[in-house]
Structure 1
Amino acid sequence: MSKYPTTRNFCFGKQIAWAGHQALRTYYGQGHFATVQAHFLRWRQFCDWLRDYYGIRDTGAIKSHHLDDYAEHLAQQVEEEVIAVTYAQNLLSSINTTLKALRGDGHIRIDSPSKRVGRRSHIRRELPTGYDWDRFQSAVDALYDVDLPRAAAVAQLARSLGLRLREAVLGNIPRWLRERDERGEIDVREGTKGGRGKEVARWVPVDGAGDCALENADSTRRELGCGNNLLKPHETYDSFVNDGEIHRARVILHRHGIKGYHDLRAAWACDRYFDLADRHAPVVMQCSPPDELSEEEAEAVNTLKKELGLELAQELGHNRLDVLAAYIGSYRS
Structure 2
Amino acid sequence: MVLVGRRDGRNFGYGRQLSYAGRQALEDMFAGGHFATVKAHSDRWQAFVRWCRSEDGPGYNDARQVDRQTLNEYAAYLRKQIHQGNRCIATAQNRLSSVNRTLAAMRGDQNVRIISPSQALGQQRSNVRTHAPGGQDRQHVQGLLQALVEQKHGRVAAIVILARTTGMRLREAILADLPRLHREAESLGRINIQDGTKGGRAGASAPRWIIANEEVKAALLLAREASPIGSRNLLHRAESYATFLQRTVLSARKILHMQGLKGFHELRSAYACERYQQLTRHAASVNGGHGNRIDRDLDQRAREQISLELGHYRSDVVSAYIGD
TM-score (norm 2): 0.69
CA distance in 2 between partners of 1:207 and 1:37 (Å): 53
Task: Indicate whether 1:268 and 2:271 are aligned.
Answer: yes
1:249-260 equivalences under 5 Å are 249-260=252-263
Contact 1:167 1:191 in 2 (8 A): yes
Question: Corresponding residue for 1:69?
Answer: none
Among candidates 222, 225, 232, match of residue 228 of structure 1? 232
**Deviations for 1:200-233, whole angstroms, at most 9, x for unmatched residues?**
1111111221111011111221xx3151101012
Gaps of 5+ in 2: 1-7, 25-33, 58-73, 79-90, 99-116, 119-124
Question: Corresponding residue for 1:190?
Answer: 195
SS at match of 1:315: helix
Compute the displacement of 1:281 (Å): 1.3
RMSD (Å), alpha carbons: 3.2
Compute the displacement of 1:160 (Å): 0.8
Question: Corresponding residue for 1:239?
Answer: 243
Identity between Structure 1 and Structure 2 (%): 31
Compute the displacement of 1:104 (Å): 5.6
CA distance in 2 between partners of 1:32 and 1:160 (Å): 47
Question: Corresponding residue for 1:152?
Answer: 157
Question: Corresponding residue for 1:302?
Answer: 297
Question: Corresponding residue for 2:94?
Answer: 113
**Deviations for 1:5-50, whole angstroms, at most 9, x for unmatched residues?**
xxxxxxxxxxxxxxxxxxxxxxx99463237678515569xxxxxx
1:1-333 equivalences under 5 Å are 30=10, 32-34=12-14, 39-40=19-20, 42=22, 83-84=36-37, 90-91=41-42, 94-103=45-54, 105-106=56-57, 111-113=92-94, 121-198=126-203, 199-221=205-227, 224-244=228-248, 246-285=249-288, 298-305=293-300, 307-330=301-324
SS at match of 2:191: strand
Contact 1:231 1:240 in 2 (8 A): yes
Compute the displacement of 1:280 (Å): 1.4
Q: Give, as a single letter, the amino acid of the residue that structure 2 aligns with 1:203.
A: W
SS at match of 2:131: coil
Question: Corresponding residue for 1:13?
Answer: none
Contact 1:43 1:98 in 2 (8 A): no
Question: Corresponding residue for 2:113?
Answer: none
Compute the displacement of 1:129 (Å): 0.7
CA distance in 2 between partners of 1:121 and 1:297 (Å): 19
Compute the displacement of 1:300 (Å): 2.8
SS at match of 1:283: helix
Compute the displacement of 1:302 (Å): 3.0
Compute the displacement of 1:152 (Å): 0.4
CA distance in 2 between partners of 1:274 and 1:209 (Å): 17
Contact 2:14 2:21 in 1 (8 A): no
Contact 1:124 1:328 in 2 (8 A): yes
CA distance in 1 between partners of 2:11 and 2:177 (Å): 51
CA distance in 1 between partners of 2:295 and 2:97 (Å): 32
CA distance in 2 between partners of 1:40 and 1:158 (Å): 34
TM-score (norm 1): 0.67
CA distance in 1 between partners of 2:149 and 2:305 (Å): 34
Q: Give, as a single letter, the amino acid of the residue that structure 2 aligns with 1:190.
A: D
Gaps of 5+ in 1: 1-27, 45-80, 289-295
**Deviations for 1:113-161, whole angstroms, at most 9, x for unmatched residues?**
3677899852111111111111111111000111111100110000111
